[in-house]
């Protein structure tokens, strides 16, 4: 199954990291968060990726062009320019399509530009800045059971400032439990049918503000509720959180050896 990863945004809220590179190339544990996302999908058997490029897309192209050669031992014949890989250290068997989708194209427009490659079967979509512990096989099965054009993963992230639990007038404990009741948001990690392209008008189309709202209005948008780990990287504090989890050996999304 093909996976679209939206990787073309400006990442303005993470400006400290994105002046020289796109947000999906911001590193966690020495590897771009884009790599972490792809590793996660690959563990579920989803290994064909369509990366929707925009802002500083050449950085992502360079990463994948060099990935095979830079992960292993090489012999370079300087008289001819020939390069021979002597020892392969790249274990990824992914097929990666790097598609230029425009510098200013909106999220829905980037998916629309993928139509020539994807207008034949069910496919997955996610953003290039979030990791999770969503069971992708259960997500796919839920989508097929609902028989709708698209399914989003819904999460309730921890309240921004946590909360307090009282014992009379005393503070009994602090809590960072997820919001209760309302507070469900779209976490990405979506599944869609080719019919979704009819809801995508062009480059200015927003996936969130236009397409998903129209699908919901038409009864064509299902939700898969996920109560486990999910974290996007919108701000520098999010990057620091993800990095701290990785360095402590407690990254929930690391399901590979």
- CATH label of the domain that carries residue 80: 3.90.550.10
In a domain, 139, yes or no: yes
Is 159 among the domain residues?
no
Whole-number pLDDT of residue 53: 98
pLDDT of residue 71: 85
pLDDT in tens, 90-146: 889 999 999 999 999 999 999 999 999 987 899 999 999 999 999 999 999 999 999
pLDDT score at 164: 59
Asked if residue 208 belongs to a domain, the reply is yes
Structural domain that includes position 112: 2-152+183-247
Residue 12 has pLDDT above 90, yes or no: no
Does residue 29 register a pLDDT over 80?
yes
pLDDT at 177 over 60: no
Number of domains the chain is built from: 1
Q: Is 121 within the bounds of a domain?
A: yes
pLDDT in tens, 207-252: 998 999 999 999 999 999 999 999 999 999 999 999 999 999 999 9
pTM: 0.90
Provide the pLDDT for residue 172. 64
Residue at 24 is within a domain? yes
Q: What is the pLDDT of residue 176?
A: 61
Does 171 have pLDDT greater than 80? no
Residue 165 belongs to a domain = no
**Long-range contacts made by residues 132-135, C-beta under 8 angstroms, separation at least 24?**
132/40, 132/187, 132/189, 132/226, 132/228, 132/229, 132/230, 132/231, 132/253, 133/226, 133/228, 133/229, 133/230, 133/252, 133/253, 133/255, 134/187, 134/189, 134/224, 134/226, 134/228, 134/230
- Cα separation, 153 vs 34, whole angstroms: 19
Integer distance in angstroms from the first to the last C-alpha of the chain?
A: 23
User: Is residue 223 one of the residues assigned to a domain?
Assistant: yes
Return mean pLDDT, the chain: 90
| 178 within a domain of the structure (yes/no) | no
Which range, 9-18, 22-31, 71-80, is most confident? 22-31
Task: Give 170 or 82, the one with higher predicted confidence.
Answer: 82
């Amino acid at each position: 199954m093909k996976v679209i990863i939206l990787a073309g945004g400006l990442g303005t809220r993470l400006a400290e990291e994105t002046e020289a590179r796109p947000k999906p190339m911001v590193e966690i544990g020495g590897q771009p968060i884009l790599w972490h996302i792809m590793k996660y999908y690959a563990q579920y058997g989803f290994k064909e990726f369509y990366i929707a490029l925009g802002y500083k897309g050449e950085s992502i192209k360079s990463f994948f062009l060099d990935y095979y050669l830079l992960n292993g031992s090489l012999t370079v014949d300087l008289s001819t320019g020939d390069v021979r890989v002597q020892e392969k250290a790249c274990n990824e068997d992914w097929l990666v399509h790097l598609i230029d989708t425009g510098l200013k194209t909106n999220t829905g427009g980037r998916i629309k530009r993928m139509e020539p490659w994807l207008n034949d079967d069910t496919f997955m979509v996610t953003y290039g800045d979030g990791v999770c512990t969503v069971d992708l096989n259960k997500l796919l099965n839920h989508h097929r059971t609902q028989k709708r054009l698209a399914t989003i993963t819904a999460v309730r992230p921890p309240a921004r400032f946590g909360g307090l639990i009282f014992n009379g007038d005393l503070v009994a404990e602090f809590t960072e439990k997820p919001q209760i009741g309302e507070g469900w948001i779209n976490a990405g990690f979506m599944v869609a049918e080719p019919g979704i392209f009819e809801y995508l008008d062009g480059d200015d189309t927003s996936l969130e503000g236009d397409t998903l709202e129209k699908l919901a209005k038409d009864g064509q948008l299902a939700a898969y509720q996920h109560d486990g780990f999910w974290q996007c990287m919108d701000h520098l504090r999010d990057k620091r959180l993800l990095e701290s989890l990785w360095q402590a050996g407690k990254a929930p999304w690391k399901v590979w050896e």
